[in-house]
Amino acid sequence: MMAIVDNKKQPSFQTNINLQQTEKTFLYSSSQLVRYWNIYCISPKSEGVGYKHSPVPTAQKFIQQLAANFPARDIQDRLLFYFNPNKSHVDLSTRAQAGLCLRAYVSAAILQACKKIANLFGGEKRFTYHDLLPFVLNDDGKTPIVLDKDQKTQLVLKQNGEVYTWAHNFFSVKILQTYNPDSESRMSLDNWVYLQTKQHPEIKAFLSELGFKDLSDWALLNKAGAKQMERLSVRDRLLVEAFHRVYRRDRVQQHSRRSRRCPDPSSSQLQEMLTYLQSKGIIINTTIKLMKELKQVAIQLRQYDIWNSKEPLEVQDPHTGYHTLRPDLPTNSQDEVDIEQQELLDFLRDSLQWALCNAIRQEIGACITRLEKSKHYAKFAKQFIPGLQLYYCQKMSLKDIVPKLGMTTWDQARRVLNPGELLCKVRTLTVQQLLERILQIAAQKGLTQLPPHPDYCKTLVEEIEAYVDEEIFTEAAEEIRAGKNRMLNSAYAQQLRLYLRLGMAHGA
């Protein structure tokens, strides 16, 4: 696990993340559009996971056609427009294809909602997300579905263009039936999926039979966010601040030694809280009285009922434009350490994807600029993208690429394209940008300061390099060394192909 806690907070590093609009467009395109043609379906035979996901060629072709004509950020709205029988006048086949793309998108969110619900209420391993999937992940990913004019009935579209009603209803389509993108208080579609999944009658009945395991008072206090604290008095907010300053700090810094449940605060922790409160003008005479007051605050926090909350569950990240879960929402599980570790892993994976997309875009642009300024190779600058497409999309060797690009020697192709050098430069940029993002988040959570201590940066860079190599670049380098029999299936190769096919189409 990557350590991001800085115990030596001294200046030496400057961080800055400024994404331009074109960067945001490609990042969104790269990581989001594939969701519209990969569908998750329940599969009891899938070892360990209970589901499978597979590409839907019809949906992929439809999305790629849309991506050629509309900005990536408009794709979802365009699909919703086509699928709505009262808005668009497109033919039934187009409506069904748009619906299939949306069903694929929704399927991933349904799966994540089931995992989230299992984390929230699956204390003591009384159930897992596998138990929830049969209730909601029932789309076959094949049947063409359209809606009737009142949007209340799911209709199957036959090959001859006729429609008929059927007894079976896909939950994914039901979500789309009830989603209103024009609402003034519009949720993101991912938010709506989560809301509908957790309110599914069979899931609610399933959970009610098991009963819910509440968080401990200390876990509630530990996870209290700004939104919850707004509802507290000034005195109670200071109590929570003191708790966070001491208890939360220790929980983070002693991550590997934590128990599964948040333990009672120790005498020394309580005493440190009393000292902090005294500096804020709050005088509490004994640690016993402090414990009682903290428990009273926990009672108030317990009334912050996320399950029935109608507030948006997500906020938009100003840097990427992505919607992410609100940081102030409490989680609820007995396996608190497991969830915290999973949240960290999810953050690292998402950040790595973001950094890789951005690094590919930046370095390809830099390569083209260098070629344009080169005395000997400026004439091949316009061939750089086509050359990469031949190499990564058609899996041609540099030798075979030479005549395709109007070159005379293998050495020219190597110097112009140089896949190995491109890989190294993308890796360097990926490490740098992932480091910046981790430092930014660590500073926001109070785990380090900006700029951090030099030794901390050095250690963190080493861990990031090991992480990105294991996840992406070791496999990518081995592919390049494999010669003409290379498969080019690494995460790096796939992301580069996605950029070449989609990113360049929008001038990102």
Cβ within 8 Å of residue 33, ≥6 positions away: 63, 67, 72, 75, 502
Q: How far is CA 103 from CA 146, 167, 171, in A?
A: 12, 19, 9
pLDDT of 29 strictly over 70: no
- Containing 41, the helix (H) or strand (E) segment is strand 38-42
User: What does the CA dihedral 88, 93, 98, 104 come to, rounded to 10 degrees?
Assistant: 150
pLDDT per residue as tens digits for the range 117-130: 887 665 445 678 88
For residue 366, the model assigns a pLDDT of: 93
Q: Which residue has the tokens 């009682």?
A: 292
Q: How high is the pLDDT of residue 445? A: 62
| Strands of the 154-157 sheet, one edge to the other | 145-147, 154-157, 163-165
Among 175-179, 248-252, 460-464, the minimum mean pLDDT is found in 248-252
The CA distance from 195 to 183, in Å, is: 16
Digit-coded pLDDT (tens) for 85-113: 988 789 999 999 999 999 999 999 999 88
Helices (H), 56-183: 57-67, 75-83, 92-121, 129-136, 171-178
Cα–Cα distance, 376 to 379 (Å, whole number): 8
Q: Is the pLDDT at 16 greater than 90, yes or no?
A: no
Provide CB contacts within 8 A for 326, sequence distance 6+: 225, 227, 312, 313, 314, 315
- pLDDT tens profile 467-508: 898 888 988 888 888 776 677 888 898 889 888 876 454 444
**Cα(438)–Cα(4) distance, rounded to whole angstroms?**
7
234-241 own/partner pairs: CB under 8 Å, 24+ apart: 235/282, 236/297, 236/300, 238/277, 238/280, 238/282, 239/277, 239/282, 239/293, 239/294, 239/297, 240/297, 241/276
* Confidence tier at 155 by pLDDT (50, 70, 90): very high
> What is the per-residue pLDDT for 217?
80
SS3 129: helix
Q: What is the mean pLDDT of residues 414-443?
A: 89
pLDDT band at 209 (very low <50, low <70, confident <90, very high): low
Residue-wise pLDDT tens digits, 55-92: 899 999 999 899 888 888 889 999 999 999 988 789 99
pTM of the model: 0.45
Q: What is the mean pLDDT of residues 227-245?
A: 87
The enclosing H or E element of 155 equals: strand 154-157
Looking at residue 123, its amino acid is G
Q: Quick one: three-class SS letters along 315-380?
A: EECCCCCCEEECCCCCCCCCCHHHHHHHHHHHHHHHHHHHHHHHHHHHHHHHHHHHHHHCCCCHHH
What pLDDT, on a 0 to 100 scale, did the predictor assign at position 177? 93
Please state, in angstroms and rounded to a whole number, the distance separating the CA atoms of residues 64 and 154: 26
Mean pLDDT of 271-284: 92
Q: Which of 179-188, 321-330, 413-422 has the lowest mean pLDDT?
A: 321-330
Instruction: Quote the mean pLDDT of the chain.
Output: 78
Instruction: Give the whole-angstrom CA distance, residue 59 versus residue 34.
Output: 10
* Residue length of the chain: 508
- Residue 320, pLDDT above cutoff 80: no
End-to-end CA distance of the chain: 34
Instruction: Identify the band that residue 210 occupies on the pLDDT scale cut at 50, 70 and 90.
Output: low
CA dihedral (81, 85, 88, 91) in degrees, to 10, reads 110
Residue 323 CB-half CA count within 13 A? 13
CA distance 463 to 480: 24
Phi/psi at 42 (5° precision):
-70, 140
